[in-house]
A = this chain, B = another copy of it.
């Protein structure tokens, strides 16, 4: 049992924290979404590469400085805390994991150093309309001859898709196995529609119409095991981001009740309010313990799927409680679009649902308990 960070990890995270405090704020996020073409400043992205954020998940042999998942999860937590809008999780965690697990020498050489430096952004196009919470439920099928694949169908909820230089698209092979493909967004037969996620994140809805992918675009043979690992990593990152955002929102609420006066006294002097803030604090601290456990599991995800489900379930549940309490304790002011609280609220709603909400994941656990005569997270 070792809960401590190493010195190098601590240094990288300290510098990341300092960077975000200096360079980023919620107003920056608003300007970012309002101004930049895809909501992303590529120059800043390059700077992150230099700071070591983007390559920390990538082996040195592939042009990175890692892999160090613990550090990456620490960055995810900071991203959540600062509501930093970027394809960090998509490119440096999801795509980098898939490329490292599945890519051949050419594919790795083409993309991993570029992801690590920030030169390239690669994102996963995985979800499908009506897919629900089960990431395994991929139905988009390829029709292939040996030279490649022909696709017709749709992917959706592709976060930062319009900023990407390359997509990794997941498909069903004719034999039902999962496969992953590197796809140039400019390939003929692709139509992308932009929209914003509930928290403002730029998203893509992608339609394929007889799109032809060359055989060389295929990443490895079966993508199932690599996707399992990727989803474990992504789930842990989602948890850590949520923990960062909850921590910040709980602190904002605490500060607010200390200054807001009603009935001649600060709100925070009323015991009923105090106890609710204590419950928020407790929820966040319990989630933080689970978040580091998720990180630990993401490093060696074999056999930890159920535990990750449980952790995501609890953290999703807390996302709801923390955001709803934060608004209620702020009162009307917290509901306004111009107040930061409402942005954290919407981000926490997105994180609650992303990769499965509490109802889905408690269902996974319940199903396992019922099927295994009561064996679940504990025997």
Contacts and interface: CB of A to CB of B under 8 A. Distances in A.
A271 interface: yes
| Complex copy number for this chain | 2
Interface in A263-277: 270-275
Among A273, A274, A275: residue with most chain B CB under 10 A:
A275
Contacts of A274: 272
Contacts of A272: 271-272, 274-275
A274 B271 CA distance: 10
Contacts of A275: 272
Contacts of A271: 270-273
A273 B271 CA distance: 9
A270 B273 CA distance: 11
A275 to B, nearest CB: 5
Contacts of A273: 271
A18 B85 CA distance: 70
A281 to B, nearest CB: 15
Among A270, A271, A273: residue with most chain B CB under 10 A:
A271
A278 to B, nearest CB: 10
Interface string A246-278: 000000000000000000000000111111000
Interface string A68-107: 0000000000000000000000000000000000000000
Nearest to A269: B271
A271 B275 CA distance: 10
A275 B272 CA distance: 7
Nearest to A274: B272
A268 to B, nearest CB: 12
Task: Please list the 7 inter-chain residue pairs (A to B) with the smallest Cβ-Cβ separation, ordered nearest first.
Answer: A271-B271, A271-B272, A272-B272, A272-B275, A270-B271, A272-B274, A271-B273
Interface of A: 270-275
7 contacts: A270-B271, A271-B271, A271-B272, A271-B273, A272-B272, A272-B274, A272-B275
